Structure 1
Amino acid sequence: MFSGVGMLFRGFGMVVRRPKLFLMGAIPPLITSVLFLIALITLLMNIDDLVTWMTPFAQGWAEGWATTLRIALGITVVAGVVLVMVVAFTGVTLALGFPLYDKIAEEVEDELGDAPPEVEEPLAGMVARAGRQSLTLILIAAVVTVPLFAAGFIPVIGQTLIPVVSAVFGGWMLGMELVGTAFDRRGLRRLRDRRRAMGQRRALVLGFAVPSYLLLAIPFVAVVVFPAATAGGTILTRELLPAAPSRDLGRVRATSASRAVSAGVMPASGHPRPLRGGCPGRSQSDGRA
């Protein structure tokens, strides 16, 4: 798990050494933060009119009951919008800045060496697939986060167990998104590919993803953390999908054998031909004996 935390710091170190890359990576979360802040301020400025419009049936109620209902509804609406913003922040940011984060992932791969060749994909198809997958992850997160948010009001459990479960779940979903670029580069473009690889090393994934999730939940800290988390996601992918030297060696041996067959040194059966004239160091008389 501590190795996972170290990946976030390694990612931060990599992007800090490249100020231009760091600044580019900070632009999308800054834009998302500003847009969400404007939306939240607009909502707060118009919350009275909104809840009044939502409760026409309370017009004939006693003033105290109507006011209590509208205050409760207003708090619920604001909390729900904030919850949606938290859930959608990563997906929206990655969607806004995917070319920049692809560049960060590419730089990390090049610095660490043995970068895999990028699997080509049409731009339109890539954008459509990325949007579809981000929407899927946002919907999954919303379906789980809303009940967790409601459970947070349960005495004792809501203040102890639920925050831990929420952080673990939120971190896992964040990890699913942060490894996406590096997985795509390796031709693993399905969400199930990410989930399967992450499931084999859960402690490592959560050690990286949960601290990233908690830091990204702090307003405007995400502007600094997001580029580092993106680089860390690429480092994590390289740990989850290490190179398979045995398979590479097998391909080399197969290629060498094929060339040997073509040269006539080895028959198709795979056994080497005996050297003509017998073995070195033996006389012909020894051979006849």
Structure 2
Amino acid sequence: MRDLGAGFGYLMKGQRWVAQHGKQYGWGLLPGLITLVLYAAALVCLGVWGGDFVSWSTPFADGWTSPWQGLFRGFLTAVLFALALLLSVLTFTAVTLLIGQPFYESLSEEVDRAESGGHAPESGLSLMRELWISARDSLRLLVRAVLWGILLFALGFIPFVGQTVIPVIGFFVTGYFLTEELTSVAWQRRNREVRERLAVLRSRRGLAWGFGTPLALAFLVPFVAVFLMPGAVAGATLMVRELEGESEAQAPAHAQAPGPEAQWPAPHGQGWSN
């Protein structure tokens, strides 16, 4: 329970940080606005032509009598739109981070500098290399998110459980994925591999849930997601600093000279307490 509260605390700290740094907040809004326009256009197209697509993909129902044909295709259209909405929530952060990599990279660096006396970890990689790594990691996350989304959608048809327990589990799963994706901005600059990031987050699931689950609930309202994204990136950076055991006085040694010899903080350090 303490980790849940700590995770939510980092989300709030991130929002306060960007509120105090208006320039970084303004730049951080642009990727979310671009993504929102793209997703809105896709959902509008699905709403207009989704029924036609379902009719085209179910030719076997052409000869069905009324009302069964309409009920069947109407149900499939509703399922298609519901899946699209679910995938929009699950993938909004990944797509926004991919589009806004340079923006959020700069924002995350500013948070590190402000919290460590002017120092910020650097990956030493070119922009194209960083974009490639970000796209690759986002694709891995997307595949996992889609598989979880399909599973939870199928479980939603279980009477009572599907309408009560499954939605709650779905929000926690979505929140965990959001935390994975948001912390990747700061961890990528620290040259942390995906398997290392996942190992740490699995050991602190409460922290990840406390940070990401309230964000997942807020992201149900697309406009809210746009305005919370800069603060979410800032809060995720603050969380990574805690998990790395970094002090406010100086940058970590591995941030200046990244390499395979860099190690995680010892289990008894601040970032590993439970």
Give yes or no for TM over 0.5: yes
Give, in angstroms, the shift of residue 65 of structure 1.
Answer: 1.9
Q: Which has the larger radius of gyration?
A: 1
Aligned to 1:146: 150
Aligned to 2:95: 92
Q: Distance in 2 between matches of 1:57 and 1:202?
A: 46
Q: CA RMSD in A?
A: 1.9
Aligned to 2:214: 211
Aligned to 2:243: 240
Distance 1:230 1:65, change over 3 A: same
Q: Which amino acid is the alignment partner of residue 60 of structure 2?
A: F
From 167, 174, 190, the equivalent of 2:171 is: 167
Q: Which amino acid is the alignment partner of residue 113 of structure 2?
A: D
Aligned to 2:36: 33
Q: Given that residues 9 and 211 in structure 2 are in contact (C-alpha distance below 8 angstroms), is that contact kept between their aligned partners in structure 1?
A: yes
Q: Distance in 2 between matches of 1:119 and 1:74?
A: 46
Q: Given that residues 197 and 241 in structure 1 are in contact (C-alpha distance below 8 angstroms), is that contact kept between their aligned partners in structure 2?
A: no
Q: Does 2:196 match 1:197?
A: no
Q: Does 2:108 match 1:105?
A: yes
**1:4-15 maps to which residues of 2 (within 5 A)?**
4-15=7-18
Range 218-227 or range 151-160, more displaced = 151-160
Q: Given that residues 91 and 177 in structure 1 are in contact (C-alpha distance below 8 angstroms), is that contact kept between their aligned partners in structure 2?
A: yes
Distance 1:57 1:8, change over 3 A: same
Give, in angstroms, the shift of residue 116 of structure 1.
Answer: 4.6
Q: Distance in 2 between matches of 1:16 and 1:33?
A: 21
Secondary structure of the residue that 2:125 maps to in structure 1?
coil
Q: Distance in 2 between matches of 1:6 and 1:174?
A: 16
Aligned to 1:120: 124
Give, in angstroms, the shift of residue 51 of structure 1.
Answer: 2.0
Give, in angstroms, the shift of residue 219 of structure 1.
Answer: 2.2
Secondary structure of the residue that 1:153 maps to in structure 2?
coil
- Name the TM-score, length of structure 2 as normaliser: 0.84
Distance 1:209 1:47, change over 3 A: closer
Aligned to 2:191: 187
Range 31-40 or range 100-109, more displaced = 31-40
Q: Distance in 1 between matches of 2:18 and 2:99?
A: 19
Deviation by residue 1:119-150 (Cα, 9 ceiling, x = unmatched): 20122222111101101101101101111122
Deviation by residue 1:214-245 (Cα, 9 ceiling, x = unmatched): 21222210011111110000000011111399
Give, in angstroms, the shift of residue 193 of structure 1.
Answer: 1.1
Distance 1:116 1:110, change over 3 A: closer
Deviation by residue 1:65-100 (Cα, 9 ceiling, x = unmatched): 221221112112111222222221111100110111
Q: Which runs of 5+ in 2 are unaligned?
A: 254-274
- Paired residues in the alignment total 246
Q: Which amino acid is the alignment partner of residue 86 of structure 1?
A: V
- Name the TM-score, length of structure 1 as normaliser: 0.80
Q: Given that residues 28 and 103 in structure 2 are in contact (C-alpha distance below 8 angstroms), is that contact kept between their aligned partners in structure 1?
A: yes
Q: Which amino acid is the alignment partner of residue 178 of structure 2?
A: L
Q: Distance in 1 between matches of 2:191 and 2:58?
A: 51
Give, in angstroms, the shift of residue 48 of structure 1.
Answer: 3.0
Range 148-157 or range 129-138, more displaced = 148-157
Secondary structure of the residue that 1:118 maps to in structure 2?
coil
Q: Given that residues 109 and 120 in structure 2 are in contact (C-alpha distance below 8 angstroms), is that contact kept between their aligned partners in structure 1?
A: no
Distance 1:203 1:47, change over 3 A: closer
Range 164-173 or range 226-235, more displaced = 164-173
